C-alpha cells in the first residue's frame, strides 16, 4: 500500500460533487449536508462493529475505519463522508499515551505538567510512520465509496490538542492548559508550533491518500477570550492553511477546500473569514444572518443546527431546517449541525434532518 500513499491513482470518478462545489462557492441545485460525528454511537451497527474493540485499536484498523465511515451513507443520502478517526492520534504521534476510559472518555496516562515535559515529545514526526494507518484508511475508504460522495479528512487544531495534552482529558474550565498561556507563553508557543508543523504534514498526507476536503477542529476555542485566541490560536490556524496549500502545490497534489470549525468563537468570525479557509463552520450559538454579515460573501458557511433539535418530532425538525436555510440562503452554504451527533439520538431523526435540507433547499432554489 505504501507506494500508493503518495500518489493514489485510479480512484473512482466522483458522482456527487455538490459538497465540493458549495465549499468552493459554485452554484448547487440543492444545499449539501453532512453531520459531524455522523459515524457514531447513535447507529446500532456502529455499536456492533465497535463492541469488542478498544477505541484506539479501531482507529488503527483501516478496515474498521472504512466500515464505520460508510455506515451512515448506507442509511442516509448524505453529501459527504468524513473519515472515522480521532483528533488525539496527533498527540499519540508525538509519543504521548492516550487511553479511552469507559464513562470518562480519552485520558492521557502522563499529561504535560511542567515545561520540561515538552522534551519528552518527539521533536520530528514522520507522519507516514506514525499515522500511516489513517492514510491507509482514507485510501481504502475513497475506493470503497465508489465515487458516491467526497471524503473529508480532518485534524484537531493546535490549541485544542495542547489543552488535552495538559489537562490529560476533558475539562470544564481548561484551567491547567490556560495557566500555561499566562505562566509559560514561550513554551506554549513552542508546543503550538510543534503541533502546527505535525498537523500540516498530517493534512497533506491525508490529501495524498485521497481526502477531497479537510476540516480543522478548534473545538476548545470557547475557553479562550478574544486576546488569547488572537495570540495562541489564530496564528497557527492561519499558518496551517497557508502551509498545507503551499505543500499541496509543491507536491502537485489537488488543492482541496479547507474548513475551519472553531466552536464558540463568534468573537473571531471576522478573523476566521480571512484565515485562508474556503469554509467557516459555525456552532448553534449564532444567528445565520449575523454570521453572514461578519464573514462576508466570499467564504462558504457550514452549520449550525443545534444538535438537540434532532430530539424534536420530525415535522418540527423540518421547520427548523427551513428556517435555517432561509437564514443562510441555499448557496455558498453547507448544512450541518452546530456540533456532533449525540449517542442517544434516533437515526430516523438524523434521516429527517438530511432529507429536509435537500427538500427545502430544492424548493427554495426553484422559487
Tens-digit pLDDT profile for residues 45-97: 999 999 888 999 999 999 999 999 999 999 999 999 999 999 999 999 999 99
pLDDT value for 296? 95
Q: Which residues pair with 215 in a beta bridge?
A: 154, 259
CA distance 278 to 24: 6
- 122 counts as catalytic: no
Catalytically annotated residue among 17, 21, 37, 332: 37
pLDDT value for 8? 53
Query: How far, CA to CA in Å, does 82 sit from each of 98, 155, 159, 213?
Result: 22, 11, 22, 9
- 17 counts as catalytic: no
User: How many angstroms separate the first and last alpha carbons of the chain?
Assistant: 49
Q: Which residues pair with 153 in a beta bridge?
A: 214
Mean pLDDT, consecutive 10-residue stretches, the chain (367 aa), reads: 50 98 98 98 96 93 98 98 98 97 94 98 98 98 98 98 98 97 98 98 98 98 98 98 98 98 97 98 97 96 98 98 98 98 98 98 97
- 37 counts as catalytic: yes
Ordered structural domains, the chain, with CATH: 41-281 (3.20.20.210)
pLDDT value for 6? 44
CA distance 153 to 106: 21
Helix axes 288-295, 314-328, angle to 10 degrees: 30
Query: How far, CA to CA in Å, does 229 sit from each of 24, 90, 109, 232, 301?
Result: 27, 21, 28, 5, 21
pTM here is 0.97
SS3 337: strand
pLDDT value for 36? 98
pLDDT value for 52? 80
Catalytically annotated residue among 86, 117, 231, 306: 86
Catalytically annotated residue among 42, 142, 148, 164: 164
- 24 counts as catalytic: no
Please write the tens of the pLDDT for every residue from 184-219: 999 999 999 999 999 999 999 999 999 999 999 999
- The three cell numbers of residue 15 are 458522482
User: Could you tell me the sign of the dihedral formed by the alpha carbons of 339, 340, 346, 352, in that order?
Assistant: positive
CA distance 198 to 123: 9
pLDDT value for 9? 66
Catalytically annotated residue among 50, 60, 238, 292: 50
Query: How far, CA to CA in Å, does 266 sit from each of 4, 224, 286, 339?
Result: 40, 11, 7, 14
CB 313 within 8 A of CB 346: no
pLDDT value for 1? 38
Catalytically annotated residue among 24, 41, 190, 362: 41
Amino acid at each position: 500500500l505504501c507506494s500508493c500513499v503518495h500518489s493514489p491513482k485510479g480512484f473512482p470518478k466522483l458522482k456527487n460533487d455538490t459538497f465540493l462545489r458549495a465549499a468552493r462557492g459554485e452554484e448547487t441545485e440543492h444545499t449539501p449536508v453532512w453531520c459531524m460525528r455522523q459515524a457514531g454511537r447513535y447507529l446500532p451497527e456502529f455499536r456492533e462493529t465497535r463492541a469488542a474493540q478498544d477505541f484506539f485499536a479501531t482507529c488503527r484498523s483501516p478496515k474498521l475505519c472504512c466500515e464505520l465511515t460508510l455506515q451512515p451513507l448506507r442509511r442516509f443520502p448524505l453529501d459527504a463522508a468524513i473519515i472515522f478517526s480521532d483528533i488525539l492520534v496527533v498527540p499519540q504521534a508525538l509519543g504521548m499515551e492516550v487511553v479511552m476510559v469507559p464513562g470518562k472518555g480519552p485520558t492521557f496516562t502522563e499529561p504535560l505538567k511542567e515545561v520540561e515535559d515538552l522534551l519528552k515529545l518527539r521533536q520530528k514526526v514522520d507522519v507516514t510512520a506514525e499515522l500511516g494507518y489513517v492514510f491507509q484508511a482514507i485510501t481504502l475508504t475513497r475506493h470503497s465509496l465508489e465515487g458516491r460522495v467526497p471524503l473529508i479528512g480532518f485534524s484537531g487544531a493546535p490549541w485544542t490538542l495542547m489543552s488535552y495534552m495538559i489537562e490529560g482529558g476533558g475539562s470544564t474550565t481548561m484551567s491547567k492548559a490556560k495557566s500555561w498561556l499566562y505562566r509559560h507563553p514561550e513554551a506554549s508557543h513552542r508546543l503550538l508550533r510543534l503541533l502546527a508543523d505535525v498537523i500540516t504534514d498530517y493534512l497533506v498526507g491525508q490529501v495524498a491518500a485521497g481526502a477531497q476536503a479537510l476540516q480543522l477542529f478548534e473545538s476548545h476555542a470557547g475557553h479562550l477570550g478574544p486576546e488569547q485566541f488572537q495570540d495562541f490560536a489564530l496564528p497557527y490556524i492561519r499558518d496551517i492553511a497557508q502551509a498545507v496549500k503551499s505543500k499541496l502545490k509543491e507536491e502537485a497534489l489537488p488543492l482541496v477546500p479547507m474548513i475551519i470549525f472553531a466552536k464558540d468563537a463568534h468573537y473571531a468570525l471576522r478573523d476566521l473569514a480571512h484565515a485562508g479557509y474556503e469554509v467557516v463552520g459555525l456552532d448553534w450559538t449564532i444567528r445565520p444572518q449575523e454570521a453572514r454579515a461578519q464573514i462576508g460573501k466570499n467564504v462558504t458557511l457550514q452549520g449550525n443546527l443545534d444538535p438537540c433539535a434532532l430530539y424534536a418530532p420530525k415535522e418540527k425538525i423540518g421547520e427548523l431546517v427551513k428556517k435555517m436555510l432561509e437564514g443562510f440562503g441555499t448557496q455558498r452554504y453547507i448544512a450541518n449541525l452546530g456540533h456532533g451527533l449525540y449517542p442517544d439520538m434516533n437515526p430516523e431523526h438524523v434521516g429527517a434532518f438530511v432529507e429536509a435540507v435537500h427538500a427545502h433547499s430544492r424548493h427554495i432554489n426553484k422559487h
